[in-house]
Amino acid sequence: MNFSGVLQGAVALLWIVVVGLIVLAVVRASRGQKVRAISISVLVVAILAVILTTVSAGLVFIQPEERGVVISAIDPRGYREQALQPGLRWIIPFFENVVTYSISKLTYTMSIATEEGQVPGDDSVAARTSDGQEVLLDASVIYAIDPNSVVQVHIAWQRRYTDELIRPLTRGIIRDAVSQFGVEEVYSLKRAELNELIREEMDRKLAENGLLLANFVLRNITFSPEYAASVEQKQIAEQLAQQASFVVEQRRQEAEQARQVAQGRADAVVIDAEGQAKARIIEAEAEKQALELIAEALATNQDLLTYQYINELAPGIQVMLVPSNAPYLLPLPTLEAQTVAVPTPQPTPLPTPETAP
């Protein structure tokens, strides 16, 4: 509850009562009626009103979000060194008065949008980069008066610090910072670094003037139409180059895949050939070992070859024909009795002319 405001309301009411009593006393006196009681009432109420007016003039209530600067006619400096803190405070009536300042956070916005900033219309900050390109920047400064520096702010700026300090200081710092970067660095590569550089310089400059920087926001960066068109063309070219690079990479991968498939087939052929060769070697080794065993067996048993030959004959054979002038090749002890070997007849010689009848 604002006690000072209530007191001022009571004082106003008392003065109204005093005026009303005076009017009533004048009316009664004009009619020849007694006005002594009314005069005493007027005097009492007037004295009470004066006392409350004096008290009201000396009481000041400071809100929690405010600080009060005391302007004093008694102090040689013309003001108190310490600002009034929140609460009900006392000053010397009629010789001192209080100017209150809000210490809440405030935002000052400069924007290219017509109705977005504190100044109607395009209020963006025009700046030139280190390579001569013009850029337009939208920015917001969030700041507050330092509670410990309210008196200094009042002496230096009064209530002009927003338009005469925040605005020109911010625009100048932004232009100086942008001039240290190239245009591509401003909008992509080093935008965060640019924002931090501006914020640090703003913090230092505002602190020198009794203000606190809560945050600096670099909201938007706009380019001239010519440069924006060139950036768009560059991006299109980069996208086409990336697409071409992707196609080349795709073709390279397809070729690599085909090479690997061919290599796999070749490796499979080699492996198959190696397998066949190894199989032949194993088979030859087996045949060699078998022949060596056969040779060893023949060396110790001559009839083994005959036995093997007989085993290879057709099982139904009953007769063998051999030349008459050749010995029997094989003894056939197991043939049946009716089986005979018939010699092959010799051809009859033709008669000569001398022997012809």
Q: Which CATH class is domain 106-223?
A: alpha beta
Compute the distance between CA of residue 183 and CA of residue 32 in angstroms, rounded to an integer.
93
For residue 357, the model assigns a pLDDT of 42
For residue 312, the model assigns a pLDDT of 67
| pLDDT by 10-residue block (mean), the chain, 357 residues | 71 84 81 78 84 84 93 90 91 91 94 85 90 90 95 93 94 94 85 93 95 93 76 70 81 84 83 83 83 76 68 60 54 46 51 47
Report the candidate in 133, 93, 125 with the shortest Cα–Cα distance to residue 109: 125
Do the bridges between strand 87-90 and strand 106-110 make them parallel or antiparallel, or are there none, so unpaired?
Answer: unpaired
For 76-94, the pLDDT digits (tens) are: 889 999 999 999 898 998 8
Compute the distance between CA of residue 186 and CA of residue 207 in angstroms, rounded to an integer.
26
Q: How many CA atoms lie within 13 A of 188 on its CB side?
A: 4
For 220-233, the pLDDT digits (tens) are: 888 877 776 766 67
For residue 338, the model assigns a pLDDT of 45
**Residue the block writes with tokens 């080349």:** 248
For 240-256, the pLDDT digits (tens) are: 777 778 888 888 888 88
Strand partners, 79: 71
* Domain range annotation of the chain: 3-99, 106-223, 246-297
The secondary structure of 266-313 as a DSSP string is HHHHHHHHHHHHHHHHHHHHHHHHHHHHHHHHHHH-THHHHHHHHHHS
pTM of the model: 0.58
Angle of helix 3-30 relative to helix 36-58, nearest 10 degrees? Answer: 160
